Amino acid sequence: MSYVEMWLFLIVVLVCGKQHLGTTLGNSSQETSPCSICTRFSLKVEFSSTVVEHEYIVAFNGYFTAKARSIFISSALKSNNIDAWRIVPRSNPASDYPSDFEVIQIKEKQRDGVLVLEGHPNIKRVTPQRKVFRSLKYDEYDPLLSCNDTKWTQKWQSSRPLRRTSLSVGSGFWHATGRHSSRRLLRVIPRQVAQTLQADVLWQLGFTGVDVRVAVFDTGLSEKHPHFKNVKERTNWTNEKTLDDGLGHGTFVAGVIASMRECQGFAPDSELHIFRVFTNNQVSYTSWFLDAFNYAILKKIDVLNLSIGGPDFMDHPFVDKVWELTANNVIMVSAIGNDGPLYGTLNNPADQMDVIGVGGIDFEDNIARFSSRGMTTWELPGGYGRMKPDIVTYGSGVRGSGMKGGCRSLSGTSVASPVVAGAVTLLVSTVSKREMVNPASMKQALIASARRLPGVNMFEQGHGKLDLLRAYQILNSYKPQASLSPSYIDLTECPYMWPYCSQPIYYGGMPTVVNVTILNGMGVTGRIVEKPDWQPYLPQNGDNIEIAFSYSSVLWPWSGYLAISISVAKKAASWEGIAQGHLMITVSSPEENESKNGAELISIVKLPIKVKIIPTPPRNKRVLWDQYHNLRYPPGYFPRDNLRMKNDPLDWNGDHIHTNFRDMYQHLRSMGYFVEVLGSPFTCFDASQYGTLLIVDSEEEFFPEEITKLRRDVDNGLSLIVFSDWYNTSVMRKVKFYDENTRQWWMPDTGGANVPALNDLLYIWGMAFSDGLYEGDFTMANHDMYYASGCSIAKFPEDGTVIAQTLKDQGLEILKQEAVVVTNVPILGLYQIPSDGGGRIVLYGDSNCLDDSHRQKDCFWLLDSILQYTSYGVMPSSLSHSENKQQYPWGTAFSLPERMEGNHLHRYSKVLEAHLGHPKSRALPACPHLSWAKPQPLNETAPSNLWKHQKLLSVDLDKVVLPNFHQNRPQVRPLSPGESGAWDIPGGIMPGHYNQDVGQTIPVFAFLGAMVVLAFFVVQINKVKSKPKRRKPKIKRPQLVQQTYQPKAPSV
């Protein structure tokens, strides 16, 4: 029996000690039940705002003591007899150090002091103090949700919610990449994101983030949280007297980076510096961030995670300080935003060139629906946006530390951001020569090692999915150099190079502009030596394209831009084929070694270019999109076109065919039209090349010269389509709000569109839009339509075709809360110019049916019908025989809108300027002139495949050999076409006293089950052996029975 007791005792020990597995660290242990380490929450995000009166941030030209700053301000204000002011005290850890800004309070009656301060020689800028409000609320446990799910609801309260806010959401809604169209093996996903990205391989090599200082700017962290072993410093920058996290968001972010138990982080031995910049009510101010950023520079922080964002890339104090941070060698990682799937929704500071902008994917490598998309909109209307995000990684159902212990799962790009920040922290600890690591070299390693997701374009995934091990290999064989993002231009590669690949180029078309980011890993400052060299490949017809470029005069900090304009040479006007060449760019940077004073580091970078050329399409197939007259936030208050969308009041997506009019562009291309973008005045294009000029939702004024030229162009055959929106001064006053950015009431600078300006443009043809504001559902030509805050047509030629509908008067509803239905509202007008060879004009009063932002029902069919009319002169029967046709004059009189008195459009306009209180037109600017580069032809063959896994210069991955940890790692799914390399699930356990709980549960239960079965058999055998043996009588069996069981003889 002692043998049996020994086995039973062993089983009891294993069962009782099971729960300690995976949670023991060193000599300490923590007993947890399986459910206690995975708490589940329903996450609600609420936004609201309060106002702090009359505070301004005074930025200086350098760092000065508090006494010197006070003297500068006092001398400027007292010299102008301004005494009703005071310096707002800032009690925080940075108070004892020199600073480059001060916060002052000036009374309302003496706000002229702001202008006085800006004239002081030591003061760089005076801007309003900003207040940010963010609220994350976690509801109680929902039994229907699994550990990796979070229910999300959202409630908007602010009249202007577009602030820098937390970028965490709840449940993941996914955008399929299209590569999982067939049945496949599903990937078995570990619950720990660090092991999923194979951080355990680097742990086994002994790298755990030692001596790397990482800062978390968030809601704080409790002092004795059990997940963290190396919290170096906790600082409070708010007006609350606590360092603890009252919400859990900061704890979660810190846990993804550096947790050492349960839900493990990437770099558990890193030095955590916790910056509490949000109160428990999620309130923060720009000045709090500025002080905290200065302190991070003083503390020589290596990596900084910022899981916040907002659309205002013109917040100068904030943007300038981010530049200063990265210039001081702080690697900043920031969330790209949760405003997807709409394009043109990038958040700042993640959209800056010197910051690593992170987007989100799920564990099946699908781009998260919430993840913001590019392009950047800084460069519009004259240029083209940059490629962002830089990289994507897991951002849904990621487990991180709970506020008091245990784990929770959250989703959002604010979750993806600390995943990359943790990976970067771990990578920094692997580099022996730390002087090689800087914001540029780290970004170079990340984007060069990223694994591209098939079926996803560059403005969704950036360079691809984070690959930690490959980044480690690159960093450890890295030599300082310059690189480009993107590293090549291939206008034939779809879908990755969308939208460039969506339309071939041809002679006479607007130049295709590609905005490339230059990353300079050699130093914080640099320059392009002389000019880039254009070298076309003659065997690949490179001489059929022409190249022009502009670039940053100084690369600072760590980066700059290179704008490439690509056009077709005249000799290729009737030619079709592929043309290739490359640009050679030489970048120099000062040698930082003092012993080599005056020396420079040189890096030569090649930019391959490949395009598809077709013969110039016929005029009636070419559509010109007017980008020049589209304005957006920032800097002005340009309201949304659909007034029902109170949760998103600003028009901030750029109104570009590749941002919020992307679906319309895709539809036009599928219908065989060629769409080009005009980023300059109407005086700068050749109207004889185009069939239709498309003006949609324009907010800008028009130069008198533009109006004159357009009339001449239409008389000569150019057609014009105008999609307008609402403009009503009474409604504009109704939707005003007090803005804490400028400390004043914001009045819209236009309505949904600048209707008075459009009426000036259309006046010569006897056409005009009204100041009416209408909405409603209706049917046109058997199509269901929705009119969303549109205007009506007030004037139209009698011989034109006008279609009217019955709609609700939304203006009366907003102003007087009265529901009134109006019949025979003219919304669509079609007109043929009577002159010989004249074009056609079409007006429609609402653009929301084309806009991706808040479109409920598209009207692409209507655009097709209109283009059939403008391009070919064929009136669709569905419109010409419509039962809703009206004859002018109409029974109802529609008034014309007047420009709002006192509007500030001139502050943001390219057309207007202030003049004695009454804006007037500026002088017409000169048309852009491109200086084409002199070609240096090469009589050699171009590379056939421009994209391989990016390989930085002087990087030999074979020199850095990883240990073979793949023996017990099953391949969990077959590779998809276009995906290189293996993607294996980590199976190792972190060495030493860092144990992982991922994958432990199943092996433990399997082992216990085997032990139970073995013990059962041991007990049964022992019972059998302990019984007395009985002799059984021998029974002789008949021979027949014995013969029955004899084997058969083999037969041949």
Those residues whose C-beta lies under 8 Å from the C-beta of residue 738, and which sit 6 or more positions away, are 51, 744, 745, 746
Residue 686: active-site member: no
User: What are the counts of helices (DSSP H) followed by strands (DSSP E) for the chain?
Assistant: 21, 47
Q: Where are the beta strands (DSSP E) in 373-511?
A: 391-394, 398-401, 407-410, 482-485, 489-490
Pull the structure tokens for residue 284: 């923060």
Residues 849-880 as b or e (16 or more Cβ within 10 Å = b):
bbbbbbbeebbbbbbebbbbbbbeeebbeebe
Structure-token pair, residue 1003: 């092996």
Which tokens belong to 412?
A: 């959002």
Nearest to 867 by CA among 510, 502, 554, 622: 622
What percent helix, strand, coil does the chain show, rounded to 5?
Answer: 25, 25, 50
Contact of 255 with 274, CB cutoff 8 Å: no
Bridge pairing between strands 489-490 and 600-613: parallel
Pair of tokens at residue 51: 């106002």
**218 is an active site residue:** yes
Which is nearest to 180 in space by CA: 948, 972, 947, 974? 974
d(CA 337, CA 412): 8
CB 177 within 8 A of CB 366: yes
- Nearest CA to 375 out of 614, 173, 607, 561 is that of 561
For the question of residue 316 being annotated catalytic, the response is no
Question: In a 3-state reduction of DSSP, which class is residue 721?
Answer: strand
The active-site residue, picked from 149, 200, 218, 269, is: 218
Catalytic residue among 249, 463, 656, 658: 249
Q: Please classify residue 449 by burial: count the beta carbons closer than 10 Å to its beta carbon, then call 0-12 exposed, 13-18 middle and 19+ buried.
A: buried
470 phi/psi in degrees, rounded to 5: -70, -35
CA distance 582 to 532: 10
Spatial separation of the C-alpha atoms in residues 253 and 37, rounded to whole Å: 17
Residues 471-507, buried b or exposed e (16+ Cβ, 10 A)? bbbbbbebebbbbbbbbbbbbebebbbbbbbbbbbbb
The residue among 416, 473, 465, 426 whose CA lies nearest residue 445 is 473
Cα 530 to Cα 527: distance, rounded to the nearest angstrom: 9
Tell me which H or E stretch contains 586: strand 577-590
Q: Is the dihedral of CA 314, 315, 317, 320 positive or negative?
A: negative
Beta strands 600-613 and 577-590 are: antiparallel
Contact between residue 979 and residue 451 where contact means Cβ atoms under 8 Å apart:
yes
Residues annotated as catalytic are 218, 249, 414
